[in-house]
Amino acid sequence: MIKLQDLTVGQVSGIIAAAVFVVQILVPIALPVILLGLLRPRSAAATQTAVSWSVIGRFLHSSLWPLFVHADSAATFSACKTAIFAVFFKGFILALIAIAAIVTPLGLYDGIIADGNPAATVFNYIKDTSPMGYGTPPRILDTTWSRLCGDFLLVPCPNDYNNATVINNNTGIYTDYEADWYDSRIPPNVVDVFQSGIADLEQSMSSFFDIQYRTYMRTLIDDKGNGPVIDNATARTVGTYQPLSSMLLNDDVIPIEGLIVDMKNGGLGFRNHSAPTWRKYGSTWVEDITFIVPETVCVDTNLTLDFMIPRTQTEYLTADSEIFRLEITDRGGFVNLNTTYPAYQLGDVQGNPNLWYRAYRAAWLRNAYTMAYMNVTSLNNGTTGDRSFTYLDSELNKTFPLYFPSGEVAPRYSIQPQSLSVVTRFGDYLDGTEGVSNVSTIGNETTTFDFESTLPLYPNPFDISFTDWDSIDTLCRGQGPSDLANITHIIAKCGVLNGAPRRNDGSASILFDPGSSWTMPMYTCISTAKATIRTVKFQFNGTANDLSSLKVISSVEKTYPDDESKPLWGVEKSDMELRNGGPLWGIVSEEKAKTLNISTVRSESLYLPGRDATIKWQNLPAADFASIALQMAYDTGSVPTTQNPVDYSGKSNLAMFKKWQELSRDPSTSAQILNLIWTDIAANLVVGTKGLHEPENAKRKRDGEDTSARRTPSVTSYTRRVKYHYAYGIPAFFALALAFATLLSTIYFMIFSGAKPSTMRTFLQHTSAGRFLTAQSSGSALSHTTHSSYAPPSQQDGYSNAPTKIWLSGAGKHEFALGPEGWMKNAQGAEVHTAKGGANVSYAPVARS
Ligand SMILES: *[C@@H]1O[C@H](CO)[C@@H](O)[C@H](O)[C@H]1NC(C)=O
Ligand SMILES: *[C@@H]1O[C@H](CO)[C@@H](O)[C@H](O)[C@H]1NC(C)=O
Ligand SMILES: *[C@@H]1O[C@H](CO)[C@@H](O)[C@H](O)[C@H]1NC(C)=O
Ligand SMILES: *[C@@H]1O[C@H](CO)[C@@H](O)[C@H](O)[C@H]1NC(C)=O
Ligand SMILES: *[C@@H]1O[C@H](CO)[C@@H](O)[C@H](O)[C@H]1NC(C)=O
Ligand SMILES: *[C@@H]1O[C@H](CO)[C@@H](O)[C@H](O)[C@H]1NC(C)=O
Ligand SMILES: *[C@@H]1O[C@H](CO)[C@@H](O)[C@H](O)[C@H]1NC(C)=O
Ligand SMILES: *[C@@H]1O[C@H](CO)[C@@H](O)[C@H](O)[C@H]1NC(C)=O
Ligand SMILES: *[C@@H]1O[C@H](CO)[C@@H](O)[C@H](O)[C@H]1NC(C)=O
Ligand SMILES: *[C@@H]1O[C@H](CO)[C@@H](O)[C@H](O)[C@H]1NC(C)=O
Ligand SMILES: *[C@@H]1O[C@H](CO)[C@@H](O)[C@H](O)[C@H]1NC(C)=O
Ligand SMILES: *[C@@H]1O[C@H](CO)[C@@H](O)[C@H](O)[C@H]1NC(C)=O
């Protein structure tokens, strides 16, 4: 059903034209009926003057009534060919015009079209009125970057102002500073180098130093506390994390204060939002934006955790947990494990970080250690001469219980039904299976506690311990604390993603009915982050002149014509160990890169270098935030803390749980989960401060920035135009063509065929009913003998040729009566016409000269 509000202006015009057309037909049909009624008020016969009959005749014959009642004047086919043609041609062209009148407006529509050529315009800051903008604190103008290096003792950072000798001998690390204070500032020439590459790129691009913490505080805290005074005891700015709003369930690319948040694929674009002057019909433009995007790869361990929801109170009590009969099921992770150790050398990490292989290695090691722990196979632990994988005590779908014979579930806290969790301890799921003894021996003393001992669930013949489990993390991430802070060591986090449980019966239900059986996939994942450049198309179109009107239409990786045009990324090269801090990075220019010790790579993107950073320590958000957000993302499912207050497990949000349940069906979509969590955390953690608008305060202008040469993008503005679908114009076009042909023929016939007005008058007068009547009556011998003398016999009917004026005042006034049978006749067979004033009639022959 078409509703009224669905109609366009064109369609309404068409309907009006159709209605007018119908009325135009109906009224001329109705009026003759009224006329007939008026003509015969009382008697059966109507008596009117001859001229009235002419007018009445014209009125009646020009209506559709002759057609309806099959009158003479409608017997077109019996007429001469010329008349047939004229009649049908007229009918056809009128019908065509009627159709054109209705159809033509249907083609009209409102079009929004580009208004002229794209042009550079002034951009103005646009405010974010959402919770994100409302909650973001203002930028403080005197914020300085601060960099503090050191593990448990402050050591000088590479390229900083501090001068100290650092002695690292058997007894520990010793530092001796030349000055009495530790200078956390970064020298301007170093800042300059790491943003030098931006100058050649678009104005919209952000550098390392255009990224700030969204929330921050001024602190004096030096939790190492054993070095020199930091910055002469003046407060330094450090970042804090207090989430504002979650965008996790928006499947969209969302602009928020300081950022473009890609909640489809994960990633943050840095931009302090500005837009050209507000236009009613919108404007679009394209910008290159610096993005930092997470990259995650997950590998299936081919083991699942299966459990049931307790059915009875007894089951609930014996399990002592929300779940019952928790067990590991071998879905190929044990039986089909490749028995070759996956050896790996870090190669060109920036070119190919080999994330899949790293994650696979973690899965392989975890499965192998689990097998050894459960004595499913043998492992060469270095001391015994045994070879690994000499036996295999498993088969497909074999289950390995994680509950004691009493029914008590061993891993007490780490596995919960209504949530997805990510853990970084690879042996986490075997926690508790080692059993507890009620006898403890310390030295000579033996204490017995008042509870029943539980035997270990698995023999652990190869002594798999936490050092083995922890080694998986280092092997997966490819870095340890004593590696150097350089371009090779990228931010990475590894862990196990326990997918959101789903029903064992394959249904999509998210209801935890008692007795229902659930399965939980386990994937090992590695996540890292890379800086890249995306080409973003914006549209500024809406009712308000604020951020709600800004839309990101598309954001795609920037394409480069050749290798030379790719950005040059630089990473600080030093002999600082990662335990002391991470390196600086940025887009650099070739000349400036030579002034410092930095490694460069020309590529579309840079895997961010660094280590597990801590918040509230230094003010270098671009170096730290990606790692901080990764650590928080890999803490999903644990008890929320002040460090990580948001619960991303789905436990406190059923919609999120459902989303996780769908995404954790296979490893590749599970990677998306971690990317999205990272993006949501990072969006609450940082902002981009670079925008296309003039900075509020000229003081904030950085050294060397040339404001006169602001390179703003070309903006396409839109405007409204009435547009037309030409197909609807076809009837009108034909009507026009026919009208034109008619016009030409008319001119032709007027000039060459004597179709002149005088001829027309003759034809009209000779076909007029009144003239016929008077001519007939004058020609009859009955009456008007007086008249006969005025006209020669041969022209007795010629009275009809008298000019209208003369005829009107003469014969035209004669009255004629029309009865049901036709013209009423007297006894002599002549029409009755009352010769009222007939004596006055004078048919003047002069007029016919
Ligand atoms: C280590 O260096 C410190 C400071 O120079 C010194 O006091 C200490 O004796 C050294 N220890 C050894 C074992 O060399
Ligand atoms: C600390 O104070 C000294 C003089 O007292 C001054 O020379 C130095 O620049 C100050 N350092 C900082 C980081 O403010
Ligand atoms: C701007 O919004 C209006 C109303 O929603 C829409 O008709 C128009 O097409 C939009 N402009 C552009 C360029 O898409
Ligand atoms: C699990 O199975 C998949 C598909 O067969 C395979 O690609 C993957 O390497 C296996 N995982 C392990 C740890 O063997
Ligand atoms: C087992 O792993 C080794 C090394 O990773 C590899 O070369 C080999 O092709 C794998 N075998 C199978 C059957 O996948
Ligand atoms: C481990 O399994 C092997 C083979 O099944 C068996 O010979 C050995 O006794 C088991 N070790 C322990 C400690 O259970
Ligand atoms: C342990 O026992 C030995 C001998 O029985 C005794 O010499 C020693 O002092 C005892 N140590 C402690 C801590 O009781
Ligand atoms: C210690 O555990 C054992 C084995 O379960 C049990 O037999 C014994 O009674 C327990 N001792 C105490 C004091 O509960
Ligand atoms: C290796 O396994 C044996 C038992 O088979 C155990 O005694 C030994 O401590 C283990 N060595 C290491 C380094 O784990
Ligand atoms: C980075 O440091 C490691 C040592 O930790 C070294 O092996 C590697 O070659 C260094 N990479 C570069 C690019 O200097
Ligand atoms: C760069 O580092 C190397 C070795 O670490 C050093 O020899 C060289 O002097 C450094 N160059 C600069 C410009 O700092
Ligand atoms: C963006 O720029 C405006 C105007 O200069 C400023 O008020 C605002 O704080 C900036 N926002 C961010 C996130 O830098």
For 422-439, what is each residue's pLDDT tens digit? 999 999 899 888 888 888
Residues 6+ apart with CB under 8 A from 348: none
Pick the closest to residue 780 from 830, 836, 816, 834 (CA basis).
830
* 171 close to ligand 1 (CB < 6 Angstrom): yes
- In the prediction, which pLDDT does 845 show? 34
In a domain, 395, yes or no: yes
Is pLDDT of 707 > 60? no
CA distance 158 to 146: 13
Within a domain: 355: yes
- Computed over every residue of the chain, the mean pLDDT equals 86
pLDDT beyond 70 at 241: yes
Number of folded domains in the chain?
1
Is residue 422 within 8 Å of 375, Cβ to Cβ? no
pLDDT band at 381 (very low <50, low <70, confident <90, very high): low
Is residue 333 in a domain?
Answer: yes
Whole-number Å distance between alpha carbons of 788 and 777:
11
Do the beta carbons of residue 308 and residue 517 sit within 8 Å? yes
Mean pLDDT of 138-158: 87
Q: Is the Cβ–Cβ distance between 660 and 500 less than 8 Å?
A: yes
Query: Which residue puts its alpha carbon closest to atom 1 of ligand 8?
Result: 452
In-domain check, residue 230: no
Between the alpha carbon of residue 322 and those of residues 528, 618, 717, the distances in Å are: 34, 42, 59
Nearest residue (by CA) to ligand 5, atom 7, is: 340
* Closest residue by CA, ligand 1 atom 3: 174
Q: Is the CB of 828 under 6 A from ligand 1?
A: no
Which ligand 4 atom minimizes the distance to the CA of 363? 13
- Ligand 7 pocket, CB under 6 A: 443-444
143 against 327, higher pLDDT: 327
The residue whose CA is least distant from atom 13 of ligand 9 is: 381
* Domain presence at residue 77: no
pLDDT (tens digit per residue) in 60-98:
888 888 888 888 878 888 888 888 898 899 889 989 998
Ligand 8: residue of 404, 408, 437, 438 to mutate (most ligand atoms within 8 A of CB) is 438
Nearest CA to ligand 7 atom 8: 444
Q: Cβ of 448: how many Cβ atoms within 10 Å?
A: 10
How does residue 781 score in pLDDT terms, banded at 50, 70 and 90? very low
Of the ligands numbered here, which is closest to the C-alpha atom of 356? 4
For residue 574, the CA-to-ligand 11 centroid distance in Å is: 8
Which of the residue ranges 50-64, 245-259, 383-397, 485-499 would you say has the lowest mean pLDDT?
383-397
pLDDT tens per residue, range 438-462:
888 888 888 888 888 888 999 998 8
* pLDDT single digits (tens) 643-680: 788 899 998 899 999 999 999 999 999 999 999 999 99
Please give the structure tokens belonging to residue 122.
């002034």
Look at the block and give the residue holding tokens 């083995």. Answer: 468
Number of neighbours of residue 844 by Cβ within 10 angstroms: 14
Ligand 11 centre distance from Cα of residue 797 (Å): 129
Q: CA nearest 607: which of 509, 701, 506, 490?
A: 490
Ligand 10 centroid to Cα of residue 583, in Å, is 12
Q: Are strands 268-270 and 253-256 parallel, antiparallel or unpaired?
A: unpaired
User: What's at 370, amino acid-wise?
Assistant: T
Residue 445, sorted as left (phi over 0), alpha (psi -120 to 50) or beta, turns out to be: beta
With contact defined as beta carbons under 8 Å apart, do 407 and 315 qualify?
yes
Cα 717 to averaged position of ligand 11 atoms, centre (Å): 53
DSSP 581-628: -PPPEEE--HHHHTTS-EEEEESSEEEPB-----SSS-B-HHHHHHHH
Q: Which residues pair with 216 in a beta bridge?
A: 239
Q: Which domain holds residue 424?
A: 299-445+463-523
Q: How far is residue 423's CA from residue 637's CA, in Å, rounded to a whole number? A: 8
In a domain, 351, yes or no: yes
Atom of ligand 9 lying closest to residue 382 CA: 13
CA distance 156 to 575: 12
Detail the DSSP E strand segments found in 415-467.
421-423, 439-442, 445-448
Residue 533: what pLDDT?
96
CA gap 665, 657 in Å, rounded: 13
Q: Which atom of ligand 12 is nearest to 687's Cα?
A: 13
Residues with CB under 6 A from ligand 12: 125, 138-139, 257-258, 272, 687, 689, 691, 695-696
Mean pLDDT confidence for 384-408: 86
pLDDT of res. 41: 63
Which position has the higher pLDDT, 789 or 35? 35
Ligand 12: centre distance to CA 272 (Å): 6
pLDDT at 232: 86
pLDDT of residue 127: 93
Q: What is the pLDDT of residue 696?
A: 62
Give the CA angle between residues 350, 355, 360 to the nearest 5°: 150
Smallest CA separation from ligand 3 atom 5, residue? 542
Q: Is residue 810 part of a domain?
A: no
- Mean local confidence (pLDDT), 394-420: 87
Whether residue 384 has pLDDT greater than 80: no
Query: If you search the block for the tokens 């059903």, which residue do you land on?
Result: 1
pLDDT at position 704, please? 47
Which of 324-338, 490-504, 784-798 is the least confident region?
784-798
Ligand nearest to the CA of 442: 7
Q: Is the CB of 369 under 6 A from ligand 9?
A: no
**For 101-125, what is the mean pLDDT?**
88
d(CA 684, CA 645): 12
Give the phi and the psi of residue 201 in degrees, each rounded to 5. Answer: -105, -175
Query: Which is the closest atom of ligand 9 to the Cα of 465?
Result: 14
585-587 β-sheet, strand order: 585-587, 568-572, 598-602
The first and second tokens of residue 33, run together, are 């009926």
- Ligand 11 mean position, distance from CA 487 (Å): 15
Q: Give the whole-number percent of the chain exceeding pLDDT 70.
A: 90
114 occurs within a structural domain: no
Q: What is the mean pLDDT of residues 502-525?
A: 91
**Would you state the pLDDT for residue 779?**
52
Nearest CA to ligand 6 atom 2: 375
Q: Whose CA is nearest to atom 6 of ligand 11?
A: 597
Distance 539 CA to ligand 12 centre (A): 20
Closest ligand to Cα 443: 7
Query: Between β-strands 815-819 and 439-442, what pairing exists: parallel, antiparallel or unpaired?
Result: unpaired
Q: Is the beta carbon of 300 within 6 A of some atom in ligand 4?
A: yes
Instruction: Name residues contacting ligand 10 (CB within 6 A).
Output: 483-484, 486-488, 573, 599
